[in-house]
Structure 1
Amino acid sequence: MTKATTTETFSIRRPPDYPDLEFVLGQSSRRTSMRHLHDAYRFGIVESGQWSSFYRGVHYDVRPEHLQIAQPGETSRCEFPRATAYAFRTVSIPIEAMRELWLSGQAGGSGEIVLADHLLASRPLATHFARVHQALMGQRSPLEVSALLQELVRVLRQWAAPNDIGPSSEADAPSALAFARDFLAAHPERNVTLRELSDLTQLSGFHLTRLFRRHFGLPPHAFQNHCRVQKAKALLAGGMPQSAIASELGFADQSHFIRTFGRQVGMTPLSYRKGLFGARTLSKNVQYAIAGSGLERSSTFLPKAREPHMNRAISAAAVLGTTLAIGPAAAGAFSVERVTFQSGGVQIVGDLYLPEEVGQEGPVPAVIVTGAWMTIKEQMPAIYAREMASRGIAALAFDFRSWGESGGEPRSVEDPVAKSEDIVAAAEFLAGHPEIRADAIGGLGVCASAAYMVHAAVHSGVIKSLGFVAPGLSTPEIIETNVGGAEAVAALIETSRAAAAELEETGRNTLVPAASLTDHRAIMFGVPYYTEPDRGLVPEWDNTFNPISWEAWLGFDPQPFAPLLRQPLFVVHSEAAAIPQGTHQFIAAMESEAGQLWLEGVEQFDFYDRPGPVTVASDALARHFAATLQ
């Protein structure tokens, strides 16, 4: 079984002086969320698209003219049209803050603010909410935040149902149930059994579960998962790795954590952390002006006309004429250690190349080496890993999930976000390795994986420096042109969805050749390197591609991450290689300078294994990493 591909981009703001307030701006194609409990007042609008909400036993169709309201202590579940993207804004206000705002300027009044309506149908109200929300997403002083919230609540009061002040819904809960609730909330990391709760409350398991659901909206196990997710948000904001959070909070494994978080929050943990780190550009179809979020196209983020830090050009004749051997004979000696680690609940298999200096001088810097799309560690990653190790820098080449020796089903899926998660997991693995300096870990991406490396670096504080070889820093426009236009893109996406539906309904997953000289179904028909046994057609590579991949791969855009990148970057490329215009655009949008080495007349596949370009690129990148991973 597999899920349809989900794309999502979020910006999340928690004002420093009001850490319990949360403002979210997002776009997603996630299809459903599990029933989840609201522990704060939540207000939201859908700006494009629509969804269905199940709240207090009633089905609602939520549209752009609606303001949606959820009461603390209530549960809800949302469903969305199949594979349809939607954009939304939400504000979550804690109970005490809401009470203070609601009663501001009124005499008397206490207890719970009861908002009877789930949907308020008013285009002016939704528009006003959007305007206030946009202002709240910016960098505001505490007084400005308070004023904006008061303005929001003032408008809400004009539309709220009468008799809006009522007794707390939890006041009627029996003390035994309140004790069980508080016990679960205080111990999110414990795998509490129903028998244990039954003993604590002196209620039978059946009776306890029925009463707990009646009073709190969820059965005990779901309530504990809700508490775990709330705690996970704080840990994600603090930078704790997902694998550590899963262990800390008692999830079965990282996969269980990611799945539970996504269903409750409506986004993956990685997307949530990304949203906290900084806003992300949404698709061209949904344009937002996000004040203070770092996305407005002000002069700060416009492409800059400037001289690169290092922009040398070397002729193809000089480069291709170099014939140094690749491997141990090229320079220093090294050893190779077979390693495994977990990513997304899947075992990842890799080769760690350790220079001889490890045993003599202690821990050394290390880089994660990743290759072109549809490739495995024995192809270009092994070549560059050997080059780095021979120059005194440890290197990890590994198989992404569903590729090569690593686990993961379905197989041969080119999922940029999943691959970026694997890179983050690889960095965390290296940081815990006794022979590696945890403060000196970099990433070396070749071709398409350079884009995945950018995504990983923006999310990971472990990755300190980046180096790219012939990077595939594409754009939607470049991809559309390369695959044959908008209709071709739409056809590939439909192929992806059909393959996902077939797998879900029948369990069958038909793979196609990745490269071939004779089979026209191949994704790379007649392409060199991949079809040459003495080059990329290595025995370990099964040469397959999963059509399910198309929607995720076509929808991935690394360009919005350029202004967010904080790690030093060095790029080796050629105008004769693939999509150099994407690299120029990416570097122009960066906030810091990038080192660049442009080789004249060197084609894309020359960078993969030709001794001359590989040696020149490796020399340049080794110097870069030596300087930035000190």
Structure 2
Amino acid sequence: MANSDTIQLWHDRHLLGGTDVLKARCQSYRYAPHAHDFFVVAAFSDGAQKHRIAHMHGVALPGSVMIIPPGEVHTGESAARDVSWSYSAFYPSAASLERLAEGLYGTARGSLDFGTSFLIEDREMAQRLVAAADVAASCPDLVGRQEAVLGAFEMLIRRYGRRAHFSHISSPPKAPIQRSLDYIREQLAERLSIEEIAGQSGLSEFHFMRLFKQQTGMTVHQYVNNLRLEAAKAMLVAGMPAACVAANVGFYDQSHFIGHFRKAFGLTPNRYASACR
């Protein structure tokens, strides 16, 4: 990663039931296609970031708030060469946001949903989220951190949350590909091959790879590495030494793991682990 990029990423188990928090200023750094099993709530404060979320392309400017539901594939990079962009982000689970919504709305039917637009122009909301991330980064007092973050998310849910019976924007993978996805998750720590993954779907390797990308938005390799890296983060948060994590999630060796982790998150596994609270 170039010196023009500054990325802070850490996990705070006391916020929103446990969430990663990010503060970043990026210029050359770019996010390859990836997805999470949790929400991404990001607020932009400077520059311009171009992105793809699901099949939608856009540019996030200062004062923008981005809300990406779990499972949606997305990318991100500078909107113009040699121009930086700054943002802050939280990565709460759907369950944690549901608990907040129940406190605000009661137990109305339907799950929490933020509509079909991934990008919202709301300078006040963006500033509130950025300020909450600043407090989460610098405040040693737990009550102070929780108050700032919960206040920002209460504002977000009141303004943009709604109850919906169907919240998926993208269609889930069809049964043959889903069988392969389940197999990948079950065998994540093993040495996987295209042949055996495709075999779970009953498709030829070439046909499988083509359908896999169409239905997931990622190549097989991107998908496997994405799952391994998210599993690695969870192990680091739980206190497992970084030197032991690589083998537990299926990377060939420690240097292979560190390289992929740095490319995906902009920092080393040890730096991430040491910043967690």
Does TM, scored on the shorter chain, surpass 0.5? yes
Alpha carbons of structure 1 residues 229 and 29: separation in structure 2 relative to 1, 3 Å:
same
Give the gaps of 5 or more residues in structure 2.
Answer: none
Query: Which letter does structure 2 place at the counterpart of 1:92?
Result: Y
State the match for 2:23 in structure 1.
25
* Partner deviation per Cα, 1:51-80 (whole Å, 9 max, x = no partner): 222223333222221112212111111112
Alpha carbons of structure 1 residues 119 and 241: separation in structure 2 relative to 1, 3 Å:
same
| Contact 2:110/2:164 (<8 A) preserved | no
Alpha carbons of structure 1 residues 172 and 48: separation in structure 2 relative to 1, 3 Å:
closer
Query: Relative contact order (alpha carbons < 8 A, sep ≥ 6): 1 or 2 greater?
Result: 2
In structure 2, what is the Cα distance between the partners aligned to 1:140 and 1:5?
Answer: 32
Deviates more, 1:205-214 or 1:39-48: 205-214
| Contact 2:73/2:218 (<8 A) preserved | yes
In structure 1, what is the Cα distance between the partners aligned to 2:149 and 2:2?
Answer: 38
1:144 Cα offset (Å): 7.6
Query: Which letter does structure 2 place at the counterpart of 1:197?
Result: I
In structure 2, what is the Cα distance between the partners aligned to 1:7 and 1:176?
Answer: 40
State the match for 2:241 in structure 1.
240
Q: Secondary structure at the match of 2:43?
A: strand
1:240 Cα offset (Å): 1.8
Q: Secondary structure at the match of 1:166?
A: coil
In structure 2, what is the Cα distance between the partners aligned to 1:204 and 1:111?
Answer: 38
State the match for 1:59 in structure 2.
57
**How do 1:386-397 residues align onto structure 2 when only pairs under 5 Å count?**
none
Query: Which letter does structure 1 place at the counterpart of 2:59?
Result: D
Bigger radius of gyration, 1 or 2? 1
1:42 Cα offset (Å): 0.7
Query: Which letter does structure 2 place at the counterpart of 1:43?
Result: V
Alpha carbons of structure 1 residues 120 and 276: separation in structure 2 relative to 1, 3 Å:
same
| Contact 2:51/2:57 (<8 A) preserved | yes
Alpha carbons of structure 1 residues 20 and 77: separation in structure 2 relative to 1, 3 Å:
same
In structure 1, what is the Cα distance between the partners aligned to 2:163 and 2:94?
Answer: 17
In structure 1, what is the Cα distance between the partners aligned to 2:16 and 2:158?
Answer: 25
* Same amino acid, percent of matched pairs: 18
Q: Secondary structure at the match of 2:51?
A: strand
Query: Which letter does structure 1 place at the counterpart of 2:195?
Result: R
Q: TM-score, normalised by structure 1?
A: 0.38
Query: Which letter does structure 2 place at the counterpart of 1:182?
Result: D
Query: Which letter does structure 1 place at the counterpart of 2:101?
Result: W
| Contact 1:116/1:161 (<8 A) preserved | no
Alpha carbons of structure 1 residues 107 and 55: separation in structure 2 relative to 1, 3 Å:
same
1:107 Cα offset (Å): 4.2
State the match for 1:133 in structure 2.
133
1:42 matches 2:43:
no
Alpha carbons of structure 1 residues 182 and 149: separation in structure 2 relative to 1, 3 Å:
farther
Q: Secondary structure at the match of 1:188?
A: coil
Query: Which letter does structure 1 place at the counterpart of 2:194?
Result: L
| Contact 1:189/1:248 (<8 A) preserved | yes
Aligned length: 272
Alpha carbons of structure 1 residues 116 and 262: separation in structure 2 relative to 1, 3 Å:
farther
| Contact 2:16/2:92 (<8 A) preserved | no
* Partner deviation per Cα, 1:327-373 (whole Å, 9 max, x = no partner): xxxxxxxxxxxxxxxxxxxxxxxxxxxxxxxxxxxxxxxxxxxxxxx
State the match for 2:92 in structure 1.
93
State the match for 1:181 in structure 2.
181
| Contact 2:5/2:29 (<8 A) preserved | no
Query: Which letter does structure 1 place at the counterpart of 2:227?
Result: C
In structure 1, what is the Cα distance between the partners aligned to 2:107 and 2:7?
Answer: 43
1:125 Cα offset (Å): 1.3
* Partner deviation per Cα, 1:87-120 (whole Å, 9 max, x = no partner): 3211111122223323442443234635322211
Q: Secondary structure at the match of 1:108?
A: coil
Q: Secondary structure at the match of 2:23?
A: strand
Q: Secondary structure at the match of 1:34?
A: strand
1:229 matches 2:229:
yes
In structure 2, what is the Cα distance between the partners aligned to 1:77 and 1:170?
Answer: 16
State the match for 2:108 in structure 1.
108
| Contact 2:113/2:161 (<8 A) preserved | no
Alpha carbons of structure 1 residues 10 and 133: separation in structure 2 relative to 1, 3 Å:
closer
1:5 Cα offset (Å): 4.6
State the match for 1:196 in structure 2.
196
Give the gaps of 5 or more residues in structure 1.
Answer: 278-630
1:255 Cα offset (Å): 4.0
In structure 1, what is the Cα distance between the partners aligned to 2:5 and 2:145?
Answer: 33
* Partner deviation per Cα, 1:305-348 (whole Å, 9 max, x = no partner): xxxxxxxxxxxxxxxxxxxxxxxxxxxxxxxxxxxxxxxxxxxx
* Partner deviation per Cα, 1:446-476 (whole Å, 9 max, x = no partner): xxxxxxxxxxxxxxxxxxxxxxxxxxxxxxx
Q: Secondary structure at the match of 2:86?
A: strand
| Contact 1:102/1:153 (<8 A) preserved | no
Query: Which letter does structure 2 place at the counterpart of 1:31?
Result: Y
State the match for 2:68 in structure 1.
70
| Contact 1:8/1:267 (<8 A) preserved | no
In structure 2, what is the Cα distance between the partners aligned to 1:4 and 1:131?
Answer: 26
Q: TM-score, normalised by structure 2?
A: 0.79
| Contact 1:111/1:168 (<8 A) preserved | no
**CA RMSD after TM alignment:** 3.3
Alpha carbons of structure 1 residues 68 and 172: separation in structure 2 relative to 1, 3 Å:
closer
1:160 matches 2:160:
yes
1:164 Cα offset (Å): 4.8
| Contact 1:73/1:217 (<8 A) preserved | no
Q: Secondary structure at the match of 2:66?
A: strand
In structure 2, what is the Cα distance between the partners aligned to 1:185 and 1:134?
Answer: 35
In structure 2, what is the Cα distance between the partners aligned to 1:169 and 1:179?
Answer: 21
1:209 matches 2:184:
no
Q: Secondary structure at the match of 2:32?
A: coil
Query: Which letter does structure 2 place at the counterpart of 1:44?
Result: A
1:126 Cα offset (Å): 1.0
In structure 2, what is the Cα distance between the partners aligned to 1:211 and 1:100?
Answer: 36
Alpha carbons of structure 1 residues 129 and 114: separation in structure 2 relative to 1, 3 Å:
closer
In structure 1, what is the Cα distance between the partners aligned to 2:68 and 2:249?
Answer: 26
In structure 2, what is the Cα distance between the partners aligned to 1:33 and 1:275?
Answer: 21
| Contact 2:212/2:219 (<8 A) preserved | yes
1:36 Cα offset (Å): 1.0
Alpha carbons of structure 1 residues 168 and 35: separation in structure 2 relative to 1, 3 Å:
closer
